[in-house]
């Protein structure tokens, strides 16, 4: 039985639909991250699971029970809010213990639990402080302790690290990961930060304008993006994407009129309007004479330290390549790339969905996903 089930969940504000029917299954003990650009409906979805927003249509089940009509306190979820939402007039201990107090737990038992949880997030020295006297990281810990103390069935995180600086964010990420490993509680985490999402998630739910684009493991999402949006959204530097069609002559003709020599991989695709994509790290530099070499001209390079990014122009379309060579490259210099057809992603122009190119490609991506 899944921990959380979403059955074509919709959310409408006045006239506008912000969540268009989401279906998903979240397994017991799984750490699921909902990722998407701002305004994609990810927070709304989380808040519907929490019971903070009404569900316009569809059903949400937690532990097999439909919770549509249940109040937040009846759902067994605990939530960490974006701005922490600590009670400013209560001490850290009171903040952590408030839910237990509401539940009518006797004082002594409560104090014991609060102390134990506070210890686990190293807050025991701050129990008497007010939230206003704490640093951002400490407030974050209080917010997590407050969620943990209730021993909930589900943890919900609503962009909890967005107010922290970059360094603290990395540290908190590790802490959340450890926490999840030791407690094993089903967790749903909302963020717009793809690094955060990739490192934390067992599985990702990628959303865009109220629609689920793809659900899958981080490596799946990266190596086998289900849609043009996912391909473009995930990965930095972003995937090389070119729109056009395959011609009979083995060339790919793109919008600007230029062409790239790409031996046709799927005859069925000929003259169909598609976008093709390839990850920059899979664009290899080759000599001019190599078989299937694509000729291009260097625009500029970006030094990353361990590697560099080459921004090149191949007959009017931009190609980015991750390059580890150290030779001097200047603007205007000719350069040649090769792309393994198995590394190519093709997306339908009409639907934006992925077009599978047959077994060879499937096998190649599967190896990468499993690696």
Partner 1 sequence: MIERSPIFDFITYAAMVLGMFLVLVPFWITLVAGSQSLQEVSQVPLNLWPSTHLLENIQAAWTRADLGPKMVNSFIVAVGVTLGKIVLAALSAFAIVFFNFRARMLCFWVIFITLMLPLEVRIVPTYSIAANALLPFQVILDTFGITGLVETLSGIRIGLEWNLLNSYTGLILPLVATATGTFLYRQFFMTIPDELVEASKMDGSGPMRFFFEVLLPLSRTNMLALATIMFVSSWNQYLWPLLITTDRANFGTVVMQLKALIPAQNGTPDWNVTMAGALIIMLPPLLVVALMQRWFVRGLISRDK
Partner 2 sequence: MERRAFYRNGTLPWLLLAPQLLLVLVFFYWPTSQALYWAFTLEQAWGGGNTWVGFANFLAIFRDGQYWATVGRSAFYAICATGLSMAIALTLAMFVDRALKGTRIFQSVFVWPYAIAAPAAGVAFRFIFSPEAGLIGSINDIWPGIWSPATNGWHALGMVIVCHAWLGIGYNFIFFLAALQMIPKSITEAGAMDGARPFQRMLDLQLPLIAPTVFFLMIMNLISSFTDSFGLIDTMTEGGPIGATEVMVYNIYIDGFKGLDYSGAAAQSIVLMVLVIALTFVQFRWVEKRVHYS
The residues binding partner 1 (CB under 8 A) are 51-54, 69-72
Which residue from 269, 245, 273 is spatially nearest to 258, judged by alpha carbons? 245
Q: By CB under 8 A, is residue 116 in contact with partner 2?
A: no
> Which residue among 9, 34, 55, 78 contacts partner 2 (CB under 8 A)?
78
Comparing CB distances to partner 2, the nearer of 141 and 146 is 146
Could you tell me if 243 and 254 are in contact, meaning their C-beta atoms sit under 8 angstroms apart?
yes
- Nearer to partner 2 by C-beta: 155 or 246? 155
Identity of the residue, 156 or 198, whose beta carbon is nearer to partner 1 in the bound complex = 156
Judged by CB under 8 A, which of 14, 16, 69, 88 binds partner 2? Answer: 88
Among 110, 146, 254, 345, contact with partner 2 (rule: CB under 8 A): 146
Per-residue binder mask for partner 2 (CB under 8 A), 204-223, x = binder: --------------------
Among 8, 65, 83, 271, binds partner 2 (CB under 8 A): 83
Would you say 61 or 247 has its CB closer to partner 1?
Answer: 61
Q: How many residues bind partner 2 (CB under 8 A)?
A: 25
Does the protein bind partner 2 through residue 160 (CB under 8 A)? no
Q: Judged by CB under 8 A, does residue 106 bind partner 2?
A: no
**Beta pairing partners, 278:** 240
Q: What are phi and psi of 205, to 5 degrees?
A: -115, 115
Give the residues lining the site for partner 2 (CB under 8 A). 50-52, 71-73, 77-79, 81-83, 85-89, 98-99, 102-103, 131-132, 146, 150
């Amino acid at each position: 039985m899944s921990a959380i089930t979403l059955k074509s969940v919709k959310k409408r504000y006045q006239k506008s639909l912000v969540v268009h029917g989401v279906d998903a299954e979240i397994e017991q003990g799984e750490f699921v991250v909902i990722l998407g650009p701002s305004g994609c409906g990810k927070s709304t979805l989380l808040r519907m699971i929490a019971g903070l927003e009404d569900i316009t249509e569809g059903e949400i089940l937690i532990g097999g029970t439909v919770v549509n009509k249940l109040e937040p306190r009846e759902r067994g979820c605990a939530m960490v809010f974006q701005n922490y939402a600590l009670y400013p007039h209560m001490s850290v201990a009171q903040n952590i213990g408030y839910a237990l107090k509401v539940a009518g737990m006797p004082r002594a038992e409560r104090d014991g639990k609060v102390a134990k949880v506070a210890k686990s997030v190293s807050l025991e020295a701050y129990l008497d402080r007010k939230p206003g006297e704490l640093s951002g990281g400490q407030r974050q810990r209080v917010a997590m302790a407050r969620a943990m103390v209730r021993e909930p069935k589900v943890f919900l995180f609503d962009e909890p690290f967005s107010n922290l600086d970059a360094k603290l964010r990395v540290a908190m990420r590790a802490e959340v990961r450890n926490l999840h490993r030791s407690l094993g509680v089903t967790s749903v985490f909302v963020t717009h930060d793809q690094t955060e999402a990739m490192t934390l998630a067992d599985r990702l739910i990628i959303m865009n304008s109220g629609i689920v684009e793809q659900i899958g493991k981080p490596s799946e999402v990266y190596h086998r993006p289900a849609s043009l949006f996912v391909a473009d959204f995930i990965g930095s530097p972003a995937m090389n994407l070119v729109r056009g069609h395959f011609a009979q002559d083995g060339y790919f003709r793109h919008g600007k009129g230029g062409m790239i020599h790409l031996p046709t991989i799927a005859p069925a695709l000929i003259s169909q309007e598609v976008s093709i994509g390839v990850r920059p790290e899979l664009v290899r530099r080759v000599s001019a004479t190599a078989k299937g070499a694509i000729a291009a001209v260097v625009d500029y390079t970006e030094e990353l330290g361990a590697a560099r990014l080459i921004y090149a122009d191949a007959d009017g379309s931009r190609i980015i390549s991750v390059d580890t060579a150290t030779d001097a490259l200047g603007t205007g210099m000719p350069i040649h790339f090769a792309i393994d057809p198995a590394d190519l992603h093709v997306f339908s122009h009409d639907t934006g969905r992925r077009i599978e190119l047959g077994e060879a490609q499937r096998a190649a991506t599967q190896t990468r996903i499993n690696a």
